Chain A
Amino acid sequence: MRRWRGTALAIACGALIAGAAAYFALPPEPLQPAIAIPRAELEPPAALAHVAEEPATLHPIVMHGDRAELGTGSAGVDEQFRPARPAWLSIPAASVDAPIDPVSGTATGIDVPAVGRAGWYDAGPRPGEPGRAVIIGHFDASNGPGLFALLPAVANGTDISIRDAAGATHRFEIVGKAEMEKSNFPTGAVYGAADRPVLILITCGGPYTPGVGYRDNVLIYARAA
């Protein structure tokens, strides 16, 4: 009896020591987001950037004949030919109905809006003008969902409305979704020129590691409807 007690004690001690060592040696597993995009729905950002440029309503600026009819003002930015800055974002299918604040780039990233608001990257195109307009929003806060919590679950064809500061509404429809690790963020397929109005909504996704954050960004591409 005493013999077996010694063996059992050795087993218990060994298990305890090995378990403690493993507990401290193995890093915690990342947490998983409550809503994630099924892998089958994901597409490469570069392909989506192209798809989002396919036919849409344009507002061309027409040349007024030859030089005799040229304007007399000097070249420069003419605000009357631009949509106003975006002010309000509505995506009923994702329960998004929120004001839009301008956000700027920083040396290491981009400013983020408050959890319940959307942020428009103000160095790039405005929604409704040719080029890729970028709007970001929180997937979650520390204690609950953010403005874009339901965004990864929306389907292609979902309507997006943006009301600008002048009261005009610019409509878009979702054409595809992508998820990329932040360490491999597709800058060239997100920011820049396009022949037509393109809207890209960005939030977080993928595994979450406390103290580090989400591994991925979810990118929703939409084209002018």
Chain B
Amino acid sequence: MLLGASVVTAATLPRIRFLNAAPGTATARVEVVSTTTGMRTGAGGESAFGEFTPYAGVPAGSVRVELVAPKLHAAVPAELAAGSSYTVIATGSGGHARLRVFRDGEPAAGTAKLRVIHAAPELGTPDVSLGGRPIAQAVAFGSSSPYITVTPGNQTLAVVSPHGNRTLASGQVSLAAGTATTAVVIGTAGEPVRVVSGQDATVTPGGPPETGLGGLASGGGRPWILILAAMGTGGALAGGLQAAARRRRTR
């Protein structure tokens, strides 16, 4: 009963991953504190600047997400829904940090989905293009574009200045059909501006393929060696018992 309950709980836990986008912070991590139980849960481990941690299960409900990094502290309240996934991003430097929590989207069958998050404070409000086509304009620092459906493939995501006369940063993103991806613009305060991306989710079937009906299988059947051994044992036992009974009768 307890096992079943824990399995159900584990399957529906919200998941978070963390991206350290605070320039000058070598490594950082986040912890999730449940405001109802006070339980503290580490989430995904340390993140070097510009790296996503793997997703990790955390408690559902009202929580406080806390940043744990040398000389940098921040916390943000969040409401985490069971079964949902979230990306937590730390921005800021020089002792001033901020955490932002973004709910991740679902992938769509047969096509690729992408959103862009602006986490490089000194860039202003740039536009974003993918493969030479504009996908978001005047993106404000700390905000996310909605998920958009894009052509699957390896494409160049470019951040261009608001007036379109300069490419500020660009990077290659791999957008496979059936997946949802988050691209984050990071940098400044001494760090070069660049685009990092992480895969949010993938469409998968509900189970493995059943592609065999047994026409090429052979052998098997009943375990005859074990059955013969049982017959031998049973016969010896019955014979022994019968002989013993006869001896008793003879005496």
Q: Report A's interface with B, CB cutoff 8 A.
A: 3, 6-19, 21-23, 26, 28-35, 58-71, 73-79, 81-82, 104-110, 112, 115, 121-126, 129-132, 136-146, 148-149, 182, 185, 187, 190-195, 202-205, 207-208, 210, 213-214, 217
Contact = CB atoms under 8 A, between A and B. Distances in A.
Chain B, interface residues (CB within 8 Å), range: 35 or more
Contacts of A8: 239
B213 interface: yes
B170 A63 contact: yes
What DSSP secondary structure best describes chain B's contact surface?
mixed
Given A31-B214, A138-B212, A22 B231 contact: yes
A65 B203 CA distance: 34
Contacts of B111: 77
Interface string B174-185: 111111010000
Given A19-B228, A66-B164, A109 B233 contact: no
Contact of A204 (B203, B210, B235): B210
A185 B212 CA distance: 16
A75 B150 contact: yes
Given A66-B166, A82-B151, A129-B153, A140 B174 contact: no
Contact of B234 (A19, A64, A71, A202): A19
A73 B213 CA distance: 50
Contacts of B172: 60
B4 interface: no
Given A14-B234, A32-B217, A139-B216, A125 B177 contact: yes
Interface string B212-242: 1111111111110011101111111111011
A19 B227 contact: yes
